[in-house]
Copies of this chain bind each other. A is one copy, B any other.
Amino acid sequence: MTVRSGHIKGKLVQVRFEPDDIEIHVKVGTTLSDAAISAGCAVETPCGGMGTCGKCRVFVTDGVSAPDESEKRLLGDLIAEGVRLACRARVTADTVVNIPEASRSLVQKILCSGMVRQVTPESNIHKYYVEAPEPTLLDERAEFERIADSINLRPGELQIDVNLARKLSSTLRDSNYKVTAVIAGSHLLAIEPGDTTAQKFGVAFDLGSTTIVGYLLDLNTGHDMAVASSANPQMAYGDDLISRINFASTQSNGLEMLTHAASDAMNRIVKQLCASAGINANHIYETTVVGNSCMTHLLLGIDPTSLGQSPYVPTICKEMTVRAPEVGLKINSSGLVHVLPNVAGFVGSDLVAVLLASMWEDDGRTRLAVDIGTNGEMALRHAGRTLACSAAAGPAFEGARIGCGMRGGPGAIDSVRIGEEVVISTIDNKKARGLCGSGLVDAVAEMLNAGIVDEMGRLLEPDEIPSLSPSVHERLVMEDDGPRFVLAEAKRSATGKPIVLTQRDIRQLQLAKGSIRAAIQTLLKVAGAEESDLSELLLAGAFGNYIRKESAVRIGLCPDIPIEKITSVGNAAGTGAKLALLSVKERGLARKLAESTEHIELANHPDYQNEFMEMMLFPQQIVTG
């Protein structure tokens, strides 16, 4: 027998689930469905636990509350045989519950931070196929009330928009009252002819300032259906956020242009997703969106001016749900766009999504998640608190402001080894075209190890370091404006010009990594934690995924902790968006994470500038992970 228990206060009783043979302790009053979730053997609750669908049937004879009205209506005589609805029956004493196979929930396994997380699909979108009786003189209920009754909801519990009401009657008549009702929360979103319950899809969007990624999910099963991405066409109006904010604030129609650029790209992604999964966009009823506050403000058409000037406040932090047409998104015309909550002006819903995907529960350990992009956003969990901040790293890690820098793509040098010779590798093994973020970190780490760059960040001149192997030494060349280090000679370069690193490039890297590391140190200090307290450091995002951890530690971007404590978690923001799409419980968790996370404003913090000055330097000791 497996015994699981949680940290629950109040009077506890024991519930054993059969045939799983799992025992847990829960508070008196807990529903059997919640208890089953805690036990890891969740039951189906397609109606969201409202006691209306009757799908969560379990066998239990005692230790539970008396049957309520919903159970009497839906189960009738079955109650005498020990059948109960898990969403209605509440635990009153120690008991044993048998969950039949038909009531078992589909549990979706999602890879989160290298861990498999079990998520029960509990979409915000519910579909009910209804064969309603046609109106007669003896049954004159209104069309809307007829549908509400057919899905066992009181009309007062269901809202309908006037747009849907306008065509409700003709839709019902044309379908002979055999329709599928699509409901989100208490809102009737749509009425579709026939039985469309099998088609229920959603898209989770990671709305990055550089790249937009969309994940198509089957909301019934939780399965991944397709993924597609697109460059963010807002790049044309500025490659950093401040430029886009200025564009929106100062250009006539600037905001509208940026909003349309984002929604156009998202619509292209929706088209691709539909084509590759073979589904109809009308069957996409909800999207979740995560991104930094500026990106989500622009998508929603909210004036971002206040984000562009001190004190950088957003218009809104809380989550927002709008209808798809309000932001020009071409999914079901009644579909919803749910933008996850922000923490503060530059700590957006993307970081909340990272938290949801990687640090969704407080396991007591000190953990740090860092998502490096143009801004480095990070969150530290320590001693019951979650602190977050955003450091303006600048675009060096994305290859910008580096002489030979480029984004990660074919031909980008992504790793560098300096031994007797200089060995590079490029993405897709193409001829080198430039240096991407991970290559830059790798190159400088190796140059530090080889003594070509000193702790102050100075690129040595060739005659200062005659001890280098000849093959490496010849790559350190002196030009009029100072030394440079050749990573790829002109003949091996796709551009015909050598790929080099200059003193200026190294200074850019120092600024970028210094700002991020100083932010980490400031968070640790505010939390009263030491680097050595860190049980885990999670690197999120594309850059965090490709970076060599040893090099990140060598240049001092990451604290000097054992390498095995550093984990690359991929696009954790996208995973968080998927979780919030798949389950309203996860969405609630995101809300709580956003509300409970304390924003640390680095500009306010007296130590940040000092830390920054110090952390621009490179660590003196060579560290081996």
Contacts and interface: CB of A to CB of B under 8 A. Distances in A.
A320 interface: yes
B138 A604 contact: yes
Nearest to A173: B306
A507 to B, nearest CB: 28
Given A162-B326, A300-B165, A318-B155, A601 B137 contact: yes
Contacts of A306: 135, 143, 169, 173
A344 B135 CA distance: 12
A145 interface: yes
Contacts of A532: none
Given A137-B310, A142-B316, A168-B302, 5 more contacts: A142-B313, A142-B344, A143-B315, A156-B591, A168-B315
24 contacts: A135-B311, A137-B604, A139-B311, A140-B312, A140-B313, A140-B601, A141-B313, A141-B317, A142-B344, A142-B345, A143-B306, A143-B316, A144-B315, A144-B317, A156-B595, A162-B301, A162-B326, A165-B302, A165-B316, A166-B301, A166-B302, A166-B303, A168-B315, A173-B306
Contacts of A165: 300, 302, 315-316, 320
B604 A315 contact: no
A253 interface: no
A327 B163 CA distance: 11
A491 interface: no
Interface in A152-190: 155-156, 160, 162-163, 165-170, 173
Contact of A155 (B141, B143, B155, B317): B317
B322 A169 contact: no
Contacts of A173: 306
User: Which 8 interchain pairs have the tightest Cβ spacing?
Assistant: A144-B316, A142-B317, A135-B313, A137-B311, A142-B314, A169-B306, A169-B315, A162-B322
Given A136-B311, A140-B345, A145 B303 contact: no
A571 interface: no
A603 B136 CA distance: 12
A548 B587 CA distance: 65
Interface residues of A, number: 52
A415 to B, nearest CB: 40
Interface string A298-337: 0011110110001111111110101000110000000000
A521 to B, nearest CB: 20
A342 interface: yes
A599 interface: yes
Q: By CB atoms of chain B within 10 A, which of A140, A160, A317 has the most? A: A140
Interface of A: 135-146, 155-156, 160, 162-163, 165-170, 173, 300-303, 305-306, 310-318, 320, 322, 326-327, 342, 344-345, 591, 595, 599, 601, 603-604
A594 to B, nearest CB: 11
Copies of this subunit: 2
A311 B143 CA distance: 12
Nearest to A259: B166
A602 to B, nearest CB: 10
B601 A143 contact: no
A135 B305 CA distance: 13
Nearest to A599: B140
A130 to B, nearest CB: 16
Given A166-B302, A302-B166, A143 B603 contact: no
A315 B141 CA distance: 9
Given A162-B302, A165-B302, A315 B140 contact: no
Nearest to A293: B142
Nearest to A139: B311
A132 to B, nearest CB: 12
Nearest to A339: B162
A143 B318 contact: no
Contacts of A155: 317-318
A201 B137 CA distance: 42
A579 to B, nearest CB: 20
A300 B603 contact: no
A399 B384 CA distance: 79
A170 B303 contact: yes
A315 B146 CA distance: 9
Given A137-B601, A140-B601, A345-B140, A320 B170 contact: no
A317 B170 contact: no
Contact of A342 (B142, B162, B599): B142
A343 to B, nearest CB: 10
- Scoring A163, A173, A314 by chain B CB atoms within 10 A of each residue's CB, the highest score goes to A314
A169 B599 CA distance: 21
Contact of A305 (B140, B170, B305, B344): B170
A591 B303 CA distance: 40
A316 B601 CA distance: 52
A311 B318 CA distance: 47
B167 A303 contact: yes
Contacts of A139: 311
A169 B248 CA distance: 14
A127 to B, nearest CB: 21
Contacts of A604: 137-138
Contacts of A302: 162, 165-166, 168-169
A155 B315 CA distance: 12
A162 B601 CA distance: 27
A170 B297 CA distance: 14
Nearest to A323: B162
A138 B136 CA distance: 66
Max count, chain B CB within 10 A of own CB: residue among A136, A144, A167, A595: A144
A290 B621 CA distance: 81
A303 B172 CA distance: 12
A578 to B, nearest CB: 23
A140 to B, nearest CB: 5
